[in-house]
Structure 1
Amino acid sequence: MSGAGAPDLSVDATGARVAVIASSWHTEIMDGLIAGAQRALADSNVTDVTLIRAPGSFELPILCQAYAREGYDAVIALGVIIRGGTPHFDYVCAAATDGLNRVALDTGVPIGFGLLTTDDEAQALDRAGLPDSREDKGREATEAALSTWNVLRTLSSPRG
């Protein structure tokens, strides 16, 4: 299981302003990822949360960039891309991943990487944070972003 050995990244993020940007494809999986993010936010005492739905995973970077530039302390990107029979999977995965990384580096705002890239729907369901799932990637992405925010706010000028 890929989640073995995961660190405890829970922090008190009282006062943080967070945007959760979630793609619209694969409703059941996305509902699980969003619920996991919401659980992590509640457990971290975050009350200022905005949920935005993106058309798909390819659009996550531009929406994350817009919310990062609006002064949000952290942005959580949630999506799922399931391999099909064409190279489309490879292009969308690379573009979304590279774009989200660029947003974080260009803005200095932590971006929670909750983008599932799986070979089939069963793998995605197993990572979606649903009652029968083995992993909760929505929660993990949120905890990683909040933990990074917690570290960055100790710096005198953390934004790029």
Structure 2
Amino acid sequence: MSGHGAPSLSVDADGARVVVVASSWHDQVMDGLLAGTHAALSDAGVTDVEVVRAPGSFELPIIAQAAARSGADAVVALGVIIRGGTPHFEYVSAAATDGLARVALDTGVPVGFGLLTCDTEEQALDRAGLPGSAEDKGREAAEAALVTWRALDGLESSKKSGRTGF
């Protein structure tokens, strides 16, 4: 299972503004991803949450970029792409993945990666955080975004205070 060895992440993110950008395809999978994301944000004390729906996974990066530029402290990108019989899967998966990484690097705003790229619908359901699922990628993406936000905030505080070294 791909989740084997995953870290246990928790963070106090009270006061953070988080935008969740979620694809509109595969309702059952997306419902699970969104529920896991909301649970993680709630557990971290985040109350300023906006959810923006994208038509599909290909559109996640442009909306994530707008969210980052609008003052979000972190963005959580959620989507699912299931392999079909054409190269479409590879093109959309690569474009969405590369685009989300670019948003984070270009804006300096953490982007939690909750984009499932699966061979089958069963694999997606097993990662969606639904009852009986083996993994909760929505929760994991939210936790990763928040922990990264705190790490970046800590680095900025160190820079301002003049702290260096170990």
TM-score if structure 1 supplies the norm length?
A: 0.97
How far the C-alpha of 1:154 sits from its partner, in A, is: 1.3
Q: Does 1:18 align with 2:18?
A: yes
Inter-partner Cα distance in structure 1 for 2:150 and 2:67? 18
Inter-partner Cα distance in structure 2 for 1:88 and 1:120? 15
What is the count of residue pairs matched by the alignment?
A: 158
How far the C-alpha of 1:55 sits from its partner, in A, is: 0.2
Structure 2 equivalent of residue 105 of structure 1: 105
How far the C-alpha of 1:155 sits from its partner, in A, is: 2.4
Inter-partner Cα distance in structure 1 for 2:157 and 2:74? 16
Match of 1:68, SS state, is helix
Unaligned runs of 5+ in 1: none
Structure 2 equivalent of residue 2 of structure 1: 2
Match of 1:65, SS state, is helix
**Letter paired with 1:139:** R
Structure 2 equivalent of residue 84 of structure 1: 84
Structure 1 equivalent of residue 164 of structure 2: none
Structure 1 equivalent of residue 68 of structure 2: 68
Inter-partner Cα distance in structure 2 for 1:100 and 1:30? 18
Inter-partner Cα distance in structure 2 for 1:149 and 1:156? 11
Inter-partner Cα distance in structure 2 for 1:124 and 1:80? 7
Structure 1 equivalent of residue 139 of structure 2: 139
Relative to structure 1, the CA distance from residue 130 to residue 66 in structure 2 (aligned partners, 3 Å threshold; closer, same or farther) is same
Unaligned runs of 5+ in 2: 159-166
Structure 2 equivalent of residue 55 of structure 1: 55
Match of 1:154, SS state, is helix
Match of 1:140, SS state, is helix
Provide the alpha-carbon RMSD of the alignment.
1.1
How far the C-alpha of 1:157 sits from its partner, in A, is: 7.8
Relative to structure 1, the CA distance from residue 157 to residue 94 in structure 2 (aligned partners, 3 Å threshold; closer, same or farther) is farther
**Letter paired with 1:29:** V
How far the C-alpha of 1:156 sits from its partner, in A, is: 2.7
Deviations 1:48-67 (A, max 9, x none): 00011100000000000000
Identity, in percent, stands at 74
How far the C-alpha of 1:15 sits from its partner, in A, is: 0.4
Inter-partner Cα distance in structure 1 for 2:117 and 2:126? 12
Deviations 1:67-88 (A, max 9, x none): 0000100000000000000000
| Greater than 3 Å deviation, 4+ residue runs | none
Inter-partner Cα distance in structure 2 for 1:50 and 1:138? 15
Q: Does 1:148 align with 2:154?
A: no
Match of 2:156, SS state, is coil
Higher Cα radius of gyration: 2
